[in-house]
Structure 1
Amino acid sequence: MVKDQDNKVIKVRSLADFKWGKAYLFEPYTPEEYIEKQLGVEFEDPSNIRSRDDIYLMVFLNEDKVVQYAELKRQRTSFSIGEKDYLSPSEDVLKIER
């Protein structure tokens, strides 16, 4: 989806085949402490995003529990959820910025 230059957005709901209520997006080099503060729950970061610049990290919660995470490869792009703190199934647009 990212490689296709015509794609400007990703509908997260279409890719998540599990139940989720919130999805948080974290930029490269985000410390684990900040991730936990945003999520409001303990989270051991399996991606080690704190020291990586090649991915974004998306963490999915359902009923205040982490249910899934995804590493989004940058592929010379940036991702954004705009001014929102998180995405929801009804507002699930992840913007691809080139």
Structure 2
Amino acid sequence: MRKLIFFVLILLILLTGYSFFNNAPHNVELGKSIYSIVEDVNNTEISINTLADFDWDKGFLYTPYSTQKGIDEQLGVHFKDPSNIDWRDDIYLLVFMKDDKVVQYAEVDRQGADFKLGEKEYLTPSDDVIFIERY
């Protein structure tokens, strides 16, 4: 009986820890703010740091059809993508990290546009511009 209780407790701790460390909040407000910037066809850039109301040190932009494996490899940690971007072409995914942990993510509606980081691999608070390319 003790072994069973011990096993159940360990299993609960593992499952709780996994879901706690794996679920970053979906920042819906950031997605809406970006949407309103892209909605104005005169805008060609998005400055993320002016919109983000949380602490972050790296921001990664994932294109439609990005794979879970590719996301995990670039982040260096497992992030269970709740948007299922690997099957979608209507959004981009922004994933923000602080101290090598995913802290927030946002879904960015395409709205007839593609988004680019230029030559950089990821965003930082001091280099936070996403370029809008209309099609």
Measured against the shorter chain, the TM-score band is: over 0.9
Structure that is richer in helix per residue: 2
Specify which structure has the bigger relative contact order, considering alpha-carbon pairs within 8 angstroms and separated by 6 or more residues. 1
Q: Which amino acid aligns with 1:97?
A: E
Match of 1:90 in 2: 126
Match of 2:42 in 1: 6
Unaligned residue ranges in structure 2 (runs of 5+):
1-36
Q: Which amino acid aligns with 1:22?
A: K
After superposition, residues 24-63 of structure 1 pair within 5 angstroms as 24-63=60-99
Q: Aligned equivalents of 1:70 and 1:85: distance in 2? A: 18
Report the TM-score, using the length of structure 2 for normalisation.
Answer: 0.72
Q: Which amino acid aligns with 2:87?
A: S
Q: Which amino acid aligns with 2:102?
A: V
User: Secondary structure of the residue that 2:70 maps to in structure 1?
Assistant: helix
Report the TM-score, using the length of structure 1 for normalisation.
Answer: 0.99
User: Secondary structure of the residue that 2:49 maps to in structure 1?
Assistant: helix
User: Secondary structure of the residue that 1:85 maps to in structure 2?
Assistant: coil
- Give the number of the structure whose alpha-carbon radius of gyration is greater: 2
User: Secondary structure of the residue that 2:119 maps to in structure 1?
Assistant: coil
When the two chains are superposed, the root-mean-square deviation of aligned CA atoms in Å is 0.4
Structure that is richer in strand per residue: 1
Q: Aligned equivalents of 2:126 and 2:49: distance in 1? A: 8
- Off by >4 Å, runs of 4+ in structure 1: none
Q: Measure how far apart 1:34 and its partner are.
A: 0.2
**Identity over aligned residues, as a percent?**
56
Q: Which amino acid aligns with 2:101?
A: K
